[in-house]
Amino acid sequence: MYCKKYPLLIILSFVLSASFYIHHTALAQTPKIPKESVDFLTKTGQAMAEIAEAVKPAIVNVSTTKTEKFSGTSMDPFFDDPFFRKFFGDKFKHPETPRERKSMSLGSGVIVSPDGYIMTNTHVIKDADKIKVTLSDKREFVGKVVGNDPKTEISVIKIDAKELSTIPIGDSEKLKVGELVLAVGNPFGLNQTITMGIASAVGRANVGIADYEDFIQTDAAINPGNSGGALVNARGELIGINTAIFSTTGGYQGIGFAIPSNMAKAVMKSLIEKGKVIRGWFGVSIQEVTPELAQQFQLKKDSGTLVADVVEGSPAEKAGLKRGDVITEFDGHEVNEPYQLRNMIANTTPGETKELKIVRDGEAKTLKVTIGELPMEPEKIPTAYGNALKGVSIQNLTPDIYSKLNLPEKMRGVIVTDIESTSPAETTLMPGDIIIEINRKAIANTDDYRNIVSQIKPDKVITLLIFRKGSTLYVTIGGE
C-alpha cells in the first residue's frame, strides 16, 4: 500500500542511499601515502631547491655581438640582368666589396672567482666584437677575453667586479655514473634555468667537439644557450661545464655533454696565469688495442694503448719507449683507451717525472719518463712564390697528423693546409695532401719545401709526388 502510494519517493531514497555508499566506499579505498615517503620526498625536493638557490647567483648570461661579412645586395638581379647591362654597360658593376652585418648569440658562464673571472665555452665568445655579461641580480658588465683554448672548448673572460658569488669546484674524477646532477644555464635565453638528471656516463671521447675530450654525459636537459653553464653535483660543487648536446632536431633528446671540472680547472689556471695553455708532451703516436692486436702482441686482455711510433728526441724516446710497446698504466692510473693517456699527459706539468708501465714482447716493464712541453702549433706557411705553387699553404707533419690521417710510419713530407682560389694548384691539390717529392727531390719538412720551390721559375711545370687517401700518385702543375 505504502509502495503504491509513494513510488517516486522510494526510488529517490534508494538512489541517495546507493550514492552515499559508493562515495563512502571510494573514500575508504583511496590509498594513503606513508608519512615516511612524504617526508623523504619533501626533504629531497627541499634539498634540490637549496642547491639551486646556492648555485644560481654564480651563473651568468653571456651575450655576444660579432660582425659578419657577406657579399651581395638586394639589387643583385638588376646588376646581373643582360638587358640592364646592355644599356648601362659596366658603369654599375656588381659590388665586389664585402658588406657587413651584426649578429648576436647567447650562452652561459660560471663565476669562478669573487673578483670576476668567468669560465665559458670557446664557441660562445668566438670572434665576438663585444661581450655583455648579465648577473643573476640583473647587473650588466662588459666582458674581456683572458684566453681561449679551442682544443678543450674552454675560455676565460673577466668582468670588473668584486665580491661575486662563486661555485666551489669539485673533483670530477670522483663522479660516479648514476649520481644526481643539476644543469644550470640560460637555454634559449631563459635566464637561471635549472634541470635535473643523472651522470649517464663519464669519459666520453671521439664525440668530435674538441681535440681533448673526456666528457661527462648527462640526461639533465641541456639546450642551446646552456653552453658554458654549470653542471653541479648534490653538494653544489661544479663538476662540469655544459658544452654540447647530441640531437637530430637541435633540441633536447636526453644526451648532453659537459667538460669535467678537473680538465676545465687546469685550463683555466693556465689561461689566467700564463695567457695560454701549457700542456705536457710525450712524443708518441698511439692507437687502440683491438682483440686481434692483443693476440699479436701477447697481451692477456685487449686493454692498454699501443705505441705506433716514437718521435725522435722526444721524452718517450729518452725514456726508452719503443714502437710496439703497449702502455697499460701512467702515474698509477690504468690506461684503457688512447684518449685517456693523451689527456693525462696533456694535464701533466712539463718537467715532472712519471712512472710508466708497459708490456713489451709479452713481458711487463716499468719506465720513468720526464714529461716535456707540447710544442706550439706548427706555423702554416703560405707561399708567395711566382710559380705554380703560388697560394699553397703547408706545414710540417706532427704526431697528431700521423695518427689522424693514419700515415705510414716512415713517410716524410709536408701537408697541404690551404689553397687560395687563385692558385694554379687549386684544381690539382687538395687540403690534406702530403707532398713527398717536388721535381723528384725528397721533401722532409718545410725548410726543404721552401728551398726547392723558391728556385722554380714561373713558367716551369712542377711534378709532385703526393700521398692522398692511402695512395701515392704523381701530379703535374703549371706550364702553358
173 belongs to a structural domain: yes
Scan for cell 642547491, then name that residue: 51
228 and 130 fall within a common domain: yes
Written as nine digits, the cell of 249 is 632536431
Residues 137 and 190 in one domain: yes
Q: Please report the pLDDT score of residue 406 as a whole number.
A: 81
Residue 31 lies in a domain: no
| Angle at alpha carbon of residue 338, lines to 336 and 343, rounded to 5° | 105
263 and 178 belong to one structural domain: yes
Same domain, 191 and 266: yes
Q: What is the DSSP letter of 457?
A: -
The count of structural domains within the chain is 3
Considering the domain architecture, whether residues 397 and 269 belong to the same structural domain is answered as no
Residues of the chain above pLDDT 70, percent:
82
Residue 418 lies in a domain: yes
Contact assessment for residue 437 and residue 465, using Cβ atoms and an 8 Å cutoff: yes
290, 253: one domain: no
Residue 11 inside a domain? The answer is no
We report the CATH number of the domain holding residue 191 as: 2.40.10.120
Band of the pLDDT at 387, cuts 50, 70, 90?
confident
Q: Is the pLDDT of residue 96 over 80?
A: no
Residue ending a domain, choose from 243, 275, 307: 275
pLDDT value of residue 269: 92
Could you tell me if 342 and 282 are in contact, meaning their C-beta atoms sit under 8 angstroms apart?
Answer: no
Rg, the chain, Cα only: 32
Q: Which of 262, 258, 309 is nearest to 282 (CA)?
A: 309
Q: Quick one: which of 133, 107, 145 has its CA closest to 241?
A: 107
Residue 230 shares a structural domain with residue 133: yes
DSSP 8-class letter at 87 = H
Residues 176-203, mean pLDDT to the nearest whole number: 87
pLDDT band at 168 (very low <50, low <70, confident <90, very high): very high
Task: Please indicate, yes or no, whether residues 408 and 454 belong to a single structural domain of this protein.
Answer: yes
What CATH number is associated with residue 468?
Answer: 2.30.42.10
Q: What per-residue confidence (pLDDT) applies to 41?
A: 84
Residue 75 lies in a domain: no
Residue 418, pLDDT score: 86
Tell me, yes or no, whether 127 and 264 share the same domain.
yes
Residue 166 lies in a domain: yes
Q: Which pLDDT band holds residue 434 (cuts at 50, 70, 90)?
A: very high
Q: Quick check: is 28 in a domain?
A: no
455-462 CB contacts, 8 Å cutoff, 24+ apart: 456/385, 456/387, 456/388, 456/389, 457/387, 458/386, 458/387, 460/387, 460/388, 461/388, 462/387, 462/388, 462/389, 462/438
Which amino acid, residue 464? L
Residue pLDDT, tens place only, 301-318: 777 888 877 887 889 999
Instruction: Convert the pLDDT of each residue in 196-235 to its tens digit.
Output: 889 999 888 777 777 787 889 998 888 878 888 999 999 9
Reported as a single tens digit per residue, the pLDDT across 31-79 is 788 888 888 888 888 888 888 889 999 999 999 988 765 544 444 444 4
Which strand (E) or helix (H) includes residue 449? Answer: helix 446-453
Which of residues 251, 275, 299 is at a domain's end?
A: 275
**Same domain assignment for residues 265 and 292:** no
Question: Considering the domain boundaries, does residue 16 fall inside one?
Answer: no
CB contact at 8 A, 257 and 221: no
In single-letter form, the type of residue at position 439 comes to N
Q: Is 316 helix (H, G, I), strand (E, B) or coil?
A: helix
Domain that holds residue 125: 53-69+100-275
Question: For cell 706550364, what's the residue?
Answer: 479
Asked if residues 61 and 186 have their Cβ atoms less than 8 Å apart, the reply is: yes
Which of the listed residues 257, 275, 293 is the one where a domain comes to its end? 275
pLDDT at 16: 55
- Whether residue 270 sits in one domain with residue 286: no
Q: How confident is the model at residue 450 (pLDDT cuts 50, 70, 90)?
A: confident
Closest CA to 146 of 278, 273, 248: 273
CA distance 86 to 1: 113
- Asked if residue 306 and residue 260 are part of one domain, the reply reads no
- pLDDT tens, 264-278? 999 999 999 988 888
